[in-house]
């Protein structure tokens, strides 16, 4: 598969992409655990079919010490015993926040996440879900392929 466009070869891309990466870095520096951030990135990217983001975030998660078992089970997190209750709440919120239609995010999913995360972490979680969905959409629209990402390449 070949990408339809190289973002960084355009003026808009040269401006926007570093700002998007900066937004990811802002969330990375929050109190939301790094493992939770990457699990959310992976799950949203699975749902959106974004090979480029799956390539990046599975490699970054492994680089940060995530186990292969947990990485392989993200798609079936409901049926796996390897995730904490907080991670499960974050994954549920990520799924509902990614799918949105028809009913958006349920009050139950929100309340469950709020049980596990304080307001700072919950805000970071919402921002993480929004950011990964934006990146997924950009990459899927333009067919950015997965496979060539090197861990640490974008440092977020």
Q: What is the CATH number of the domain that holds 104?
A: 1.20.1290.10
- Is the pLDDT confidence value at 154 over 80? no
Structural domain including 43 reads 12-141
Report the pLDDT value the prediction gives residue 156, as an integer from 0 to 100: 47
Which segment of 2-16, 83-97, 110-124 scores lowest on mean pLDDT? 2-16
Give one DSSP letter per residue of 92-153, joined into a string. Answer: HHHHHHHH-TTT-S-HHHHHHHHHHS-HHHHHHHHHHHHHHHHHHHHHHHTTPPSS---TTS
pTM of the model as a whole: 0.94
Is 31 inside any structural domain? yes
Is 149 inside any structural domain? no
Mean pLDDT, the chain, whole residue set: 95
**Alpha helices (H) in 3-118, listed in sequence order:** 11-28, 34-48, 51-63, 68-73, 85-99, 107-116
Which segment of 1-15, 68-82, 115-129 scores lowest on mean pLDDT? 1-15
Report the pLDDT value the prediction gives residue 101, as an integer from 0 to 100: 84
Domain count, the chain: 1
- Is the pLDDT confidence value at 14 over 50? yes
Is 151 inside any structural domain? no
Is 46 inside any structural domain? yes
């Amino acid at each position: 598969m070949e990408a339809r466009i190289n973002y960084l070869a355009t003026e808009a891309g040269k401006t926007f992409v570093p700002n998007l990466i900066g937004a990811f870095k802002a969330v990375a520096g929050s109190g939301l655990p790094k493992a939770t951030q990457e699990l959310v990135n992976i799950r949203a990217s699975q749902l959106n079919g974004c090979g480029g983001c799956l390539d990046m975030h599975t490699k970054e998660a492994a680089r940060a010490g995530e186990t292969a078992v947990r990485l392989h089970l993200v798609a079936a997190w409901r049926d796996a015993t390897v995730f904490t209750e907080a991670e499960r709440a974050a994954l549920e919120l990520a799924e509902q926040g990614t799918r949105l239609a028809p009913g958006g995010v349920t009050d139950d999913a929100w309340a469950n996440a709020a049980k596990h995360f304080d307001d700072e972490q919950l805000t970071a979680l919402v921002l993480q879900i929004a950011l990964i969905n934006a990146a997924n959409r950009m990459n899927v629209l333009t067919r950015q392929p997965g496979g060539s990402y090197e861990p640490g390449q974008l440092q977020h």
